[in-house]
């Protein structure tokens, strides 16, 4: 007879661990108890040695689906002769160390129940269990108990309570558990807020089939939905939402439906079906869906239904819906009913609302598979705020504020980096308020004061102004591209590397807008070894919106009169003169070395895109052209001191345009040139500095072709190559980098 005391750490609470341990102990006839404590999950078991071994093996091999065991401590003790095995009440301070649980897509068993006419959850859109359902989005405070969720206002009925209290039931301590008898109700309303009579599901189907646009309250906010097969409605939605070309996300009934419209690899299938249920960017197949869903793109962003509500919605006559974020332009996603009626009035014809309040907004996550690696584009629902483990344990609590676009923030505590949900563009009062409130919420949940705030060094960022006003011991500005680089170091536990950072714009130490950078360094320092030569951006923000301006600026700056003549041919005398004047006077024309701007320029030269109606549009459309062909050619380039001169590339592009080469091939040659020059310069740095680890980051590496090609060349050149896997390569990843830099600079 032996008694063991086990302490499990990681994601072990609120995931159904206690009932699993209970069942296992009962089966093996072991005595003792299990409880949640501040330390983690504590188990005392006593019995025969062999059975105890089986007990431990079983826990290690088949833990609950949502758990993650990071550490198991085992202690041998004198037997106490327990009489039975019990689940004990949690001790004081429970879950202080604990991860805030994330939202989980509906599980198989719940799905079966909502389709079973004999089950009490039949057709109930808020069915959930310990293995699935809302978590982060309904939590008002920790510990994660029903009283600290927005479900607290719904007293459980007897049947629900019985399941909730039964350790052997799948709903044991499933905090949001509910049924048609006791849980939230769902309604359909017209745009004036009048509730429509009838069954919500049939009403919604009818309205959608009529071509109406609806606001549908989900788990982390509202979606705007319409029938994706109806081109007229999709165009109407574009018009009402004021969104010219930015692709709309789709929700499809099931994998078979996805396969009908898209090419899906095994890896992509498993991501679609995962508990995080993200939007996955897929290659579209043929043409039965309207082009207006994703104009000029060969890809579609697709997700599967992840709540019972969505599942029911897609179980009828419609199998593909547009499900785009319920917001107006770049404002935060709408989460409350009143807010929805007010903000989405002009966009939506009807509203599907319900009584379960959303406490924390959370947008859908977006990712793509490049080669065989997963790349996050937006890390939000299903991921946030699960922490990322970092190598070094910090001694302070550090807030990484993130950037101005695609903002999220990060709280680094001990060796865990808690990344917030997607906040978005910090360019409105609403977004600023959202950011501030979300920081307070995460601080409260983690019971963590902030000692150090790290923020982007850009003097004009609102996120940085907010950061400087937060109470803390230290406020530390961090350079944008250093943060990008460090995000990859942090993810991979690296100390130093050659950082190739390609993105749109970020403020550099020389006051110019950086974005095509060869850095060398680690957490506390970096050197800039090479960069793309600067070009003035005539009109600053305007130049970023209108690629023809950048193209003209490139031609005038680097190809002189030859370039001017070509620009006049392409864009007309008037536009070229405008740019020429601005450049001559240096009026509102900041200098940029951004990779995104070079892509914009080439896209404009090829007449792929003259106007960016969403961030990265031109580059995105240009990269899709590259995916359509194959070719290994590339243009040359020239280096002068530390600047990569673009005129060889530009001249090559112009020559190919004149000779009538297809745009696909020109785009490919251009992409290949960038990959080739990365290899050449990395090789030179390796020779001079003796480092052969390369990290790739920055929003331009969302370009699938560019990332694949660059990695392939670098790997065949003998480099170890790393890119972002756990956080986005775009500005959604810099909060992690900022926090890690602050830790190394400030904590001993
Ligand atoms: Zn479930
Ligand atoms: Zn009930
Ligand atoms: Fe960036």
Model pLDDT, residue 100: 79
Distance CA 249, CA 264 (A): 16
Helix or strand holding residue 77 (H, E): strand 68-77
CATH of 535-673, one of 1.10.10.10, 1.10.357.160, 3.40.50.12640, 1.20.120.80: 1.10.357.160
Q: Is the peptide bond before 143 cis (omega within 30 degrees of 0)?
A: yes
C-alpha 37 – ligand 3 centre gap (Å): 41
CATH architecture, domain 186-366: Alpha-Beta Complex (3.90)
C-alpha 672 – ligand 1 centre gap (Å): 47
C-alpha 353 – ligand 2 centre gap (Å): 20
719's tokens: 């480099």
Q: How far is CA 561 from CA 416, 556, 568, 607, in A?
A: 56, 7, 10, 21
C-alpha 124 – ligand 1 centre gap (Å): 12
Q: What's this model's pTM, rounded to 2 decimal places? A: 0.94
Distance CA 88, CA 680 (A): 63
Model pLDDT, residue 141: 85
Model pLDDT, residue 205: 98
C-alpha 318 – ligand 1 centre gap (Å): 24
Q: Which residues contact 527 (CB under 8 A, 6 or more apart)?
A: 519, 520, 521
Q: Is the peptide bond before 385 cis (omega within 30 degrees of 0)?
A: yes
Q: Is 351 helix (H, G, I), strand (E, B) or coil?
A: strand
Helix or strand holding residue 413 (H, E): strand 410-413
Q: How far is CA 615 from CA 224, 375, 483, in A?
A: 21, 18, 20
Model pLDDT, residue 94: 46
C-alpha 158 – ligand 2 centre gap (Å): 7
C-alpha 422 – ligand 3 centre gap (Å): 15
C-alpha 127 – ligand 1 centre gap (Å): 7
Q: Is 132 helix (H, G, I), strand (E, B) or coil?
A: strand
Model pLDDT, residue 95: 47
C-alpha 298 – ligand 1 centre gap (Å): 35
CATH 3.30.70.100 domain position(s) in the chain: 2-87
C-alpha 128 – ligand 2 centre gap (Å): 11
C-alpha 640 – ligand 2 centre gap (Å): 72
Q: Which ligand is nearest to the CA of 133?
A: 1
Model pLDDT, residue 91: 67
C-alpha 676 – ligand 3 centre gap (Å): 22
C-alpha 744 – ligand 2 centre gap (Å): 51
Model pLDDT, residue 144: 81
Q: Is 723 helix (H, G, I), strand (E, B) or coil?
A: strand
C-alpha 497 – ligand 3 centre gap (Å): 18
pLDDT tens figures, 517-557? 999 999 999 999 999 999 999 999 999 999 999 999 999 99
Q: Is 628 helix (H, G, I), strand (E, B) or coil?
A: coil
C-alpha 404 – ligand 3 centre gap (Å): 9
| Residue ranges with CB less than 5 Å from ion ligand 3 | 503, 506, 731
C-alpha 456 – ligand 1 centre gap (Å): 41
C-alpha 3 – ligand 2 centre gap (Å): 40
pLDDT tens figures, 453-501? 999 999 999 999 999 999 999 999 999 999 999 999 999 999 999 999 9
Percent of the chain with pLDDT over 70: 99
Q: Which ligand is nearest to the CA of 732?
A: 3
Is CATH 3.20.110.20 correct for 2-87?
no
| Residue ranges with CB less than 5 Å from ion ligand 2 | 157, 160, 179, 181-182
User: Which residue positions in the chain have pLDDT lower than 50?
Assistant: 94-96
CB of 337 within 8 A of CB of 267?
no
CATH 1.10.357.160 domain position(s) in the chain: 535-673
Q: Which ligand is nearest to the CA of 501?
A: 3
Q: Which ligand is nearest to the CA of 729?
A: 3
C-alpha 120 – ligand 2 centre gap (Å): 9
CATH 3.90.870.40 domain position(s) in the chain: 186-366
The phi-psi region of residue 604 (left if phi > 0; otherwise alpha if psi is between -120 and 50; otherwise beta) is alpha
């Amino acid at each position: 007879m032996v008694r063991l005391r086990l302490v499990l750490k990681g994601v072990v609470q609120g995931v159904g661990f206690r009932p699993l341990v209970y069942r296992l102990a009962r089966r093996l006839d072991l005595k003792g108890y299990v409880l949640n404590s501040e330390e983690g999950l504590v188990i005392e078991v006593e019995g025969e040695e062999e059975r105890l071994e089986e007990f431990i093996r079983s826990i290690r091999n088949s833990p609950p689906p949502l758990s993650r065991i990071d550490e198991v401590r085992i202690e041998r003790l004198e037997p106490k002769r327990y009489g039975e095995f019990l689940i004990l009440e949690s001790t004081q301070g429970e879950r202080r160390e604990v991860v805030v649980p994330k939202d989980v897509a509906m599980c198989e068993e719940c799905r079966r129940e909502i389709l079973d006419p004999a089950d009490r959850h039949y057709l109930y859109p808020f069915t959930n269990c310990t293995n699935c359902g809302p978590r982060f989005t309904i939590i008002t405070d920790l510990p994660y108990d029903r009283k600290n969720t927005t479900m607290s206002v719904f007293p459980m009925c007897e049947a629900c309570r019985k399941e909730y209290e039964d350790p052997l039931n799948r709903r044991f301590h499933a905090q949001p558990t509910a049924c048609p008898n006791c849980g939230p109700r769902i309604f359909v309303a017209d745009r004036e807020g009048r509730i429509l009579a009838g069954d919500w599901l049939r009403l919604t189907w009818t309205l959608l089939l009529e071509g109406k646009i609806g606001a549908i309250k989900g788990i982390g906010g509202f979606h705007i939905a319409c029938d994706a097969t109806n081109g007229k409605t999709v165009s109407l939605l574009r018009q009402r939402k004021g969104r010219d070309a930015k692709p709309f996300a789709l929700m499809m009934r099931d994998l078979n439906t996805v396969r009908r419209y898209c090419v899906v690899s095994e890896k992509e299938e498993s991501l679609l079906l995962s508990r995080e249920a993200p939007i996955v960017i897929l290659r579209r197949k043929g043409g039965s869906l309207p082009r207006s869903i994703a104009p000029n793109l060969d890809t579609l962003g697709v997700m599967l239904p992840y709540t019972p509500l969505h599942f029911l919605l897609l179980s009828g006559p419609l199998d593909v819906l547009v499900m785009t974020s319920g917001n107006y332009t770049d404002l935060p996603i709408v989460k409350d009913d009143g807010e929805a009626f007010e903000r989405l009035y002009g966009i939506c014809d009807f509203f599907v609302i319900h009584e379960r309040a959303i406490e924390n907004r959370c947008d859908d996550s977006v990712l793509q598979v490049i080669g065989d690696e997963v790349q996050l584009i937006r890390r939000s629902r299903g991921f946030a705020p699960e922490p990322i483990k970092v190598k070094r344990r910090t001694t302070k609590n550090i807030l990484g504020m993130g950037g101005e676009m695609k903002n999220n923030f990060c709280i680094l505590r001990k060796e865990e980096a808690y990344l917030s949900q997607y906040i978005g563009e910090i360019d409105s009062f609403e977004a600023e308020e959202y950011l501030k409130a979300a920081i307070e919420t995460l601080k409260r949940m983690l019971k963590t004061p902030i000692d150090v705030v790290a923020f982007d060094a850009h003097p004009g960022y609102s996120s940085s102004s907010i950061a400087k006003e937060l109470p803390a011991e230290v406020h530390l500005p961090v350079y944008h591209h250093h943060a990008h680089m460090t995000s990859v170091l942090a993810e991979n536990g690296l100390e130093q590397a050659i950082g190739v950072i390609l993105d749109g714009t970020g403020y550099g130490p020389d006051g110019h807008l950086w974005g095509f950078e060869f850095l060398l360094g680690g957490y506390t320092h970096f050197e800039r070894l090479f960069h793309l030569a600067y070009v003035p951006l005539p009109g600053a923000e305007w130049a970023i919106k209108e690629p023809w301006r950048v193209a003209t600026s490139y031609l005038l700056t680097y190809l002189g009169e030859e370039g001017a003549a070509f620009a006049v041919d392409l864009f007309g005398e008037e536009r070229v003169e405008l740019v020429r004047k601005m450049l001559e006077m240096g009026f509102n024309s900041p200098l940029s070395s951004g990779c995104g701007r070079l892509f914009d320029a080439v896209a404009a030269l090829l007449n792929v895109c003259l106007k960016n109606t969403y961030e990265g549009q031109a580059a995105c459309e240009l990269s899709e052209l590259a995916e359509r062909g194959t070719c290994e050619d590339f243009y040359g380039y020239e280096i002068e001191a530390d600047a990569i001169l673009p005129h060889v590339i530009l001249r090559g592009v112009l020559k190919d345009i004149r000779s009538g080469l297809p745009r696909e091939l020109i785009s490919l040659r251009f992409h290949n040139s960038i990959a080739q020059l990365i290899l050449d310069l990395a090789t030179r740095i390796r020779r001079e500095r003796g480092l052969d680890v390369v990290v790739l980051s920055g929003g331009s590496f969302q370009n699938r072709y560019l990332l694949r090609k660059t990695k392939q060349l670098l790997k065949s050149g003998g480099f170890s190559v790393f890119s972002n896997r756990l956080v986005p390569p775009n500005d959604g990843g810099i909060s992690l980098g900022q926090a890690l830099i602050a830790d190394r600079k400030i904590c001993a």
